């Protein structure tokens, strides 16, 4: 019986197909982002990153709590490589939940001051937001203002508007005060502040600013980028409200103005870890930091990048040097304290 010829072509073809399927050169370069920041506040930067690197960014946006719960429930099967959110308290909660991993980078260490990143590299601040006192220009003189603590004084009875205690921004402010002054002193301050409320807390930061402009109260606490957004708003009503208020930088002689960050971390089960790190480095780069300043009215986390013209118009200030990671560590204590003080 004649011998059958060996299928000489089949094996090379199979090897070629396997090589094509497994070749990293042909694999799609991507990074998957879960973002608690609104799409219009981050997508232009992500698009720019894709143009510069060829890495596709797949973006999922949602509420902070929902995204954290999603990461926890997905576990090792999560598609997310990066979690991007809006407060050090949220970032600390994500670390505590075990959904982030530590990463180190010379570029991140160079561009982001130590006070604005997790000490062990679990997350990095990408923009800075200050929370000063906003006051009515026609009813309050700057000389009447001094510190956050002074807002609990009797002279401000029925003159203060603030967001509720559910606001992570207020929780972080109280956490910072606990870090500096201890719980007892901070609780006494919180009770005095509550006694000075002009109305029950409601609405967001813009609503507080509008309430000051409308005469419902004289003073509020708000993140500067909200006021910056109103100053540059296409809505004439928002512009008019912003024109009636001014910024006062408290605690210039003591601890400095309370500051916080928006930031990001690489997820614990990132399948595109290298691309995730590249994205974080890009968001800390000079061009991205300028975008944060000029478009979002946030202070660049990189001190070498100047703030926007709007922010510069409010003058310079002394920022609190407390590591913002402490705000997350003390969040639970702050929430309990606010409850005891009757801050609804």
Q: What is the DSSP string of 208-222?
A: HHHHHHHTS-SEEE-
Q: Which residues contact 51 (CB under 8 A, 6 or more apart)?
A: none
Residues 218 and 251 in one domain: yes
Q: Is residue 14 part of a domain?
A: no
- On whether both 191 and 274 belong to a single domain, the answer is no
Q: Is residue 282 part of a domain?
A: yes
Tell me how many domains the chain contains. 2
- Tens-place pLDDT, residues 156-189: 999 999 999 999 999 999 999 999 999 999 999 9
Q: Is the domain of 252 the same as that of 276?
A: no
In a domain, 3, yes or no: no
The pair of three-digit structure tokens given for residue 229, joined into one six-digit string: 């957004």
- Please indicate, yes or no, whether residues 97 and 55 belong to a single structural domain of this protein: yes
Does the residue 316 lie in any domain? no
Do residue 87 and residue 228 come from a single domain? no
pLDDT digit string (tens) for the chain, length 344 residues:
444 444 444 444 444 344 434 444 444 699 999 998 878 778 889 999 999 999 999 999 999 889 999 999 999 999 999 999 988 989 999 999 999 999 999 999 999 999 999 999 999 999 999 999 999 999 999 999 999 999 999 999 999 999 999 999 999 999 999 999 999 999 999 999 999 999 999 999 999 999 999 999 999 999 999 999 999 999 999 999 999 999 999 999 999 999 999 999 999 999 999 999 999 999 999 999 998 888 888 999 998 999 999 999 999 999 999 999 999 999 999 999 999 999 99
- Residues 88, 98 within the same domain: yes
CA angle 204, 253, 212 (to 5 degrees): 25
41 and 119 in a common domain: yes
Q: Are residues 267 and 142 in the same domain?
A: no
User: Maximum Cα–Cα distance for the chain, whole Å?
Assistant: 111
pTM: 0.85
181 in a domain, yes or no?
A: yes
Please tell me whether residues 138 and 252 are part of one structural domain.
yes
Q: How far is it, in rounded angstroms, from Cα 324 to Cα 331?
A: 11
As a whole number of angstroms, the distance between CA 147 and CA 58 comes to 44
217 and 333 assigned to the same domain? yes
Residue at 334 is within a domain: yes
pLDDT tens profile 190-231: 999 999 999 999 999 999 999 999 999 999 999 999 999 999
In a domain? residue 39: yes
- Domain extent, residue 111, equals 29-128+260-306
Structure tokens at 12: 């090379």
* 1 lies in some domain: no
With a CB cutoff of 8 Å and minimum separation 6, the contacts of 337 are: 174, 178, 183, 186, 187, 190
297-316 pLDDT, tens digit each: 899 999 899 999 999 999 99
| Nearest residue to 308 (alpha-carbon basis) of 176, 127, 178, 173 | 127
Query: Strands, DSSP E only, in the chain?
Result: 30-35, 56-61, 82-85, 100-101, 124-130, 133-136, 160-161, 219-221, 245-248, 259-267, 299-300
| Cα–Cα dist 44/260, whole Å | 23
User: 264 and 291: one domain?
Assistant: yes
**Do 243 and 264 lie in a common domain?**
no
**Phi and psi angles of residue 53, each rounded to the nearest 5 degrees, phi first:** -115, -20
Check which CATH number belongs to the domain holding 220 and give it: 3.40.190.10
């Amino acid at each position: 019986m004649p011998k059958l010829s060996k299928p000489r072509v089949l094996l090379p073809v199979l090897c070629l197909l396997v090589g094509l399927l497994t070749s990293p050169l042909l694999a799609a370069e991507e990074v998957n982002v879960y973002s608690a920041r609104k799409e219009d506040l981050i997508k232009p930067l992500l698009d720019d990153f894709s143009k510069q690197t060829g890495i596709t960014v797949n973006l999922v946006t949602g509420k902070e709590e929902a995204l954290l719960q999603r990461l926890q429930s997905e576990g090792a099967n999560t598609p997310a490589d990066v979690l991007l959110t809006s407060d050090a308290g949220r970032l600390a909660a994500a670390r505590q939940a075990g959904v982030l991993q530590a990463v180190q980078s010379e570029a991140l260490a160079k561009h982001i001051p130590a006070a604005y990143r997790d000490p062990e590299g679990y997350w990095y601040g990408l923009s800075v937001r200050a929370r000063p006192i906003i006051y009515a220009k026609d009813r309050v003189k700057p000389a009447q203002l001094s510190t956050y603590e002074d807002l609990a004084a009797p002279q401000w009875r029925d003159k203060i508007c603030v967001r509720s205690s559910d606001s992570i921004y207020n929780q972080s402010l109280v956490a910072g005060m606990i870090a500096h002054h201890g719980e007892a002193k901070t609780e006494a301050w919180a009770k005095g502040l509550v006694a000075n409320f002009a109305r029950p807390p409601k609405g967001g930061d813009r609503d507080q600013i509008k309430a000051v402009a409308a005469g419902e109260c004289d003073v509020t606490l708000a993140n500067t980028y909200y006021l910056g957004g109103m100053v540059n708003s296409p809505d004439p009503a928002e512009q008019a409200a912003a024109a009636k208020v001014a910024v006062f930088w408290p605690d210039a002689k003591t601890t400095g103005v309370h500051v916080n960050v928006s930031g990001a971390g690489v997820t614990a089960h990132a399948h595109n870890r290298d691309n995730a790190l590249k994205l974080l480095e890009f968001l800390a780069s000079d061009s991205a930091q300028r975008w944060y300043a000029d478009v979002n009215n946030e202070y660049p986390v990189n001190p070498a990048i100047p703030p926007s013209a709007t922010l510069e118009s409010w003058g310079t200030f002394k920022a609190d040097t407390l590591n913002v990671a402490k705000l997350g560590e003390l969040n639970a204590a702050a929430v309990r304290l606010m409850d005891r003080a009757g801050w609804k």
